[in-house]
Amino acid sequence: MAVLLMGNEAIARGALEAGVRVATSYPGTPASEIMTTLMHFGPEAGVYTEWSVNEKVAVEIAAGASYAGARAMASMKQMGLNVAVDAVMSLAYIGVKGGLVLVVADDPGPHSSQTEQDTRLFARFAKLPVLDPSCPQEAYEMTKYAFTLSETLNLPVIVRPTTRVSHACQEVEVGDIPPRPPVPGFVKDPRWVIMPSLSARQHVWLNGQQERARAEFAATSFNKAHLEGPIGVIAGGPSYFYVLEALRRLGLKLSVLKIGTPYPLPEEPVKDFLRRMEKILVVEEQEPVIEEQVISLAWRHHLSVEISGKHDGLLPREGEFNVEKVATAIARFLNLEQNAAAAALPPPPPLPARPPLFCAGCPHRGSFYAFKQAARDLDVIFTGDIGCYTLGAAPPLKAMDTCLCMGASLGLAQGLARVQPGTRLVAFIGDSTFFHAGLPPLVNAVHQRVRLTVVVLDNETTAMTGHQSHPGLAAEGGRVAVDIGRVVEACGVETVITADPMDLEATMAAARRALAAEGPSVVILRHPCPQMAKPSTRCRVNPEACIDCRTCINELGCPALVPTDHGVTINATCTGCGLCAQICPTAAIEEVE
Amino acid sequence: MDILIAGVGGQGIILASRALASAAVKAGLPVRTAETIGMAQREGSVVSHVRLGLAEGGPLIPLGSADVLLALEPAEACRNLKYLRPGGKALVSTSPIIPVLAALGSTPYPLEDILTYLRRNVPACYSFDALDLAVKAGSPRALNIVMLGALANLGLPFPAELLLNEALNLLPPRVHDINRRAFALGRRALEV
């Protein structure tokens, strides 16, 4: 049966068909929809699913289930893997019992990430096999296969889709979802207790598994050659299709070897291909993972084939590929004259920049505005974090001076406090991120008596990635909401203030109080994400009273506020939050039903 | 048939591309789409690549090879014109979404220049106020369905009714009537 599936949905489907029992994740683009899909279909199939507090915890939970013999999966984006690395590295040594699949979605481009890192390189570092799908159909097949391979090798297996697989849609031939098999149960054994003596033995075993994985991969159909003479291309991931399409555009027929299993690279199919080639081009996004293994293989086996790719600058190590980039590289590889571009259009008129920004009615707009106002006459640095509120760095608010990674707003602020004692530090962090990575640095700040104001921007969801649950929310299923205020108090923070960021006066008062505190202070600014709540009111501008001073637009930058020839108007995206009404100097903005 | 859908986050571009792709699958055609999801959905530029009937290829439409540019916003039409093949058709909604940066005066938005440029340089450019039609249908949010209705006149490889049904499947029943009207108004706006 062919069903239209997004790559992430195809991965979830593959896991369901493979009998996954426990699936965990922390949201992150482009990986989030894997768990969203499992949560939709999983309960009926008997799968336990959860949004874990962070990726390390997600992997540990999946590993626990695997220890008992159940199939388990943890999904995340590439930077999420960084958080989980400690657990993953040790897990490679300890091994698993039930198939354990880590799905790590990479983001070449990057489209919505702080880095462009290549998980295949991490797989090599961790000595874990990695599968690199080129389309949703293959992502589905590889996910199913990954569980079996994991049990064959007793190793976690990584499936690494990229944005153009995760967020691509395709008709996918799917099978039936079988009932979950019974869980064999955990068997007590010293093998589960990592000790230096065990690690020393396991390292030998782990290295040996590389060759077994290589042999397993050689037997799959994920690597396939199409021969058309002695000049060839080796391609992995979505680049495979860019190559096919570029060849079609250039009117060329070259031999193509598709690599779906980039680490450990299977030797036989690659050697067989290299033997038949005079020169080849390796096409893969991000790092030269396949390329370096191919060069090493050719050298070791005295294969006199010319190899091009990233090392000779035919292809870049940064950015996303597309048909044009690959066609240009192939043309250069073959020393072809590139056809002149199609008749160029005259230059277009100047086009507007359109960076992402806070939605109309977003409570973060009020939070940042109030803190900026309250700190106007002070020497203050605002450290920021990862989430929708990262957009607080954009004009007109410009209320964020740093942003590094999840939880770093609190840590960076403490470092700055050490060397700039006169400066006030305000660290912004979202509610989900607070639980993910904000607690350890908060405890540190209390312990070290750092003068720091932490602002928890609590919009009662994980908004940027699609409104996933987090430990601060009870939601359904008998879960318990962990109260941020009580946690913060229990950590020893003396000044803890909660306010509604849509009430600017109250929020500015809270900010002033927190900034005056001697030790660490925490302000929780709570208001639900407008995407989650249906607005009951809207605002409108009274044209009689509006003097077109544009204070509302210039200070808040709300997309619902539109300048016209006759003053400001408010468009249909307004949620009636009333922030603009609170700062309008002529009280020209009023709420309407 | 390669269709590039362009617009602004929040306009329902993902839904439009999903409806097209679902209709293609129902019609037994191979389909590939690529979507912008994540940070850019907050009022940023969004494009969705939809490739119908493509047996072997990636989800991204190469530059200069889209058969149709379906633009839900005029500046985004202009920004993505490079994808349109020579002789390709552009369907453009003329209502602008003024970015906050333009409201702040730090980026231009020359609407008339943009519309003139499109009409002058794309021989098969069909521009109309889809927002106005969506409001007539009952909701400004139905603009994406108005555009799909218009698109259905451009020789899609499946019947218009199939496209409408797949779009409705993705929408809650309470807005079905509005969107049926929107689709019909879109079709009427572009009787070619």
Q: How many whole angstroms separate alpha carbon B67 and alpha carbon B46?
A: 19
Q: How many whole angstroms separate alpha carbon B190 and alpha carbon B192?
A: 6
Count of A–B CB contacts within 8 Å?
A: 173
Asked if B32's CB is within 8 angstroms of A168's CB, the reply is: yes
The answer to whether A419 contacts chain B (CB < 8 Å) is no
Strands ordered across the beta sheet of A157-159: A48-51, A22-25, A72-77, A100-105, A157-159, A130-131
Q: What does DSSP say about strands A255-259 and A279-283: parallel, antiparallel, or unpaired?
A: unpaired
Tokens representing B181 are 């009207």
Nearest to A323 among B36, B60, B106 (CB): B60
The answer to whether A283 contacts chain B (CB < 8 Å) is no
Per-residue three-class SS string for A520-553: CEEEEEECCCCCCCCCCCEEEECCCCCCCCCHHH
* Distance set, CA A585 to CA A372, A581, A582 (Å): 18, 9, 8
The verdict on whether omega for the bond into residue A264 sits within 30 degrees of 0, i.e. cis, is yes
Are the CB atoms for B71 and B80 separated by under 8 Å? yes
Q: How many whole angstroms separate alpha carbon B154 and alpha carbon A329?
A: 35
Q: How many whole angstroms separate alpha carbon A258 and alpha carbon A131?
A: 12
CA distance B54 to chain A (A): 10
The pTM of the full predicted model, rounded to 2 decimals, is: 0.96
To the nearest 10 degrees (0 to 180), the angle between helices B160-169 and B13-26 is 120
* Distance set, CA A425 to CA A334, A368, A396 (Å): 57, 14, 21
SS3 for A449? coil
Q: Decide if B135 is inside a domain.
A: yes
Asked if B17's CB is within 8 angstroms of A353's CB, the reply is: no
Q: What does DSSP say about strands B66-71 and A279-283: parallel, antiparallel, or unpaired?
A: unpaired
CA distance A240 to chain B (A): 8
A453 CB contacts (<8 Å, ≥6 apart)?
A: A424, A425, A426, A427, A511, A514, A515, A517, A520, A521, A522, A523
Q: Decide if B102 is inside a domain.
A: no
Computed over its alpha carbons, how large is the radius of gyration of chain A? 27
Q: Decide if B55 is inside a domain.
A: yes
Are the CB atoms for A413 and A383 separated by under 8 Å? yes
- Tens of pLDDT, residue by residue, chain A (593 residues): 899 999 999 999 999 999 999 999 999 999 999 999 999 999 999 999 999 999 999 999 999 999 999 999 999 999 999 999 999 999 999 999 999 999 999 999 999 899 999 999 999 999 999 999 999 999 999 999 999 999 999 999 999 999 999 999 999 999 999 999 999 999 999 999 999 999 999 999 999 999 999 999 999 999 999 999 999 999 999 999 999 999 999 999 999 999 999 999 999 999 999 999 999 999 999 999 999 999 999 999 999 999 999 999 999 999 999 999 999 999 999 999 876 555 678 999 999 999 888 999 999 999 999 999 999 999 999 999 999 999 999 999 999 999 999 999 999 999 999 999 999 999 999 999 999 999 999 999 999 999 999 999 999 999 999 999 999 999 778 899 999 999 999 999 999 999 999 999 999 999 999 999 999 999 999 999 999 888 889 999 999 999 999 999 999 999 999 999 889 999 989 999 999 999 999 999 999 98
The answer to whether A324 contacts chain B (CB < 8 Å) is yes
Nearest to B109 among A352, A388, A558 (CB): A352
Are the CB atoms for B16 and B5 separated by under 8 Å? yes
The answer to whether A583 contacts chain B (CB < 8 Å) is no
Is 80 exceeded by the pLDDT of residue B42? no
B138 in the Ramachandran plot: left (φ > 0), alpha (ψ -120 to 50) or beta?
left
Are the CB atoms for A501 and A366 separated by under 8 Å? yes
Q: Decide if B48 is inside a domain.
A: yes
Nearest to B57 among A167, A244, A559 (CB): A244
Nearest to A356 among B39, B64, B117 (CB): B39
Asked if B58's CB is within 8 angstroms of A164's CB, the reply is: yes
Q: Decide if B131 is inside a domain.
A: yes
pLDDT for res A569: 95
The DSSP call for residue B14 is H
Are the CB atoms for A238 and A135 separated by under 8 Å? yes
Are the CB atoms for A173 and A119 separated by under 8 Å? no
> Using CA atoms in the order A209, A215, A216, A218, what is the torsion angle rounded to 10 degrees?
150
Q: Decide if B104 is inside a domain.
A: no
pLDDT for res A340: 59
Q: Best of A354, A459, A575 to disrupt the B interface by mutation (most B CBs within 10 Å)?
A: A354
Domain hosting residue B124, numbered range: 2-97+109-189
Query: Minimal CA–CA distance to A310: which of A298, A302, A322, A318?
Result: A318
Residue listed under structure tokens 């006759």: A566
The DSSP call for residue A580 is H
- Which CATH number do you get for residue B77? 3.40.920.10
pLDDT for res A533: 86
Q: How many whole angstroms separate alpha carbon A262 and alpha carbon A248?
A: 25
Q: How many whole angstroms separate alpha carbon B81 and alpha carbon B110?
A: 17
Asked if B44's CB is within 8 angstroms of A359's CB, the reply is: no
Q: How many whole angstroms separate alpha carbon A384 and alpha carbon A389?
A: 8
Q: Residue A307 forms beta bridges with which residues?
A: A280
Q: What is the ipTM of this complex?
A: 0.95
* Distance set, CA A543 to CA A205, A243, A327, A533, A575 (Å): 77, 58, 56, 29, 20
pLDDT for res A254: 98
* Distance set, CA A487 to CA A55, A377, A426 (Å): 21, 31, 19
Q: How many whole angstroms separate alpha carbon B111 and alpha carbon B75?
A: 7
Instruction: Provide the b/e sequence for B32-61 (b: ≥16 CB within 10 Å).
Output: bbbbbbbbbbbbbbbbbbbbbebeebbbbb
Query: Minimal CA–CA distance to A345: which of B68, B111, B83, B92?
Result: B83
Q: How many whole angstroms separate alpha carbon A74 and alpha carbon A85?
A: 13
Q: How many whole angstroms separate alpha carbon A292 and alpha carbon A4?
A: 36
> Using CA atoms in the order B12, B15, B20, B26, what is the torsion angle rounded to 10 degrees?
-160
Are the CB atoms for A565 and A523 separated by under 8 Å? no
The DSSP call for residue A133 is -
Are the CB atoms for A58 and A76 separated by under 8 Å? yes
pLDDT for res A89: 98
Is 70 exceeded by the pLDDT of residue B160? yes
If one counts the domains in chain B, the total is: 1
Q: How many whole angstroms separate alpha carbon A503 and alpha carbon A501?
A: 5
> Using CA atoms in the order A151, A154, A156, A162, what is the torsion angle rounded to 10 degrees?
-50
Chain A segment 391-410 residues within 8 A of B by beta carbon are 391, 395-396
> Using CA atoms in the order A353, A356, A358, A359, what is the torsion angle rounded to 10 degrees?
90
Tokens representing A87 are 């657990």
Q: Decide if B103 is inside a domain.
A: no
pLDDT for res B192: 60
CA distance A274 to chain B (A): 25
Nearest to B58 among A245, A341, A358 (CB): A245
Q: How many whole angstroms separate alpha carbon A165 and alpha carbon B14?
A: 16
Are the CB atoms for B15 and B144 separated by under 8 Å? yes
Are the CB atoms for A238 and A321 separated by under 8 Å? yes
The stretch B120-146 carries a mean pLDDT of 97
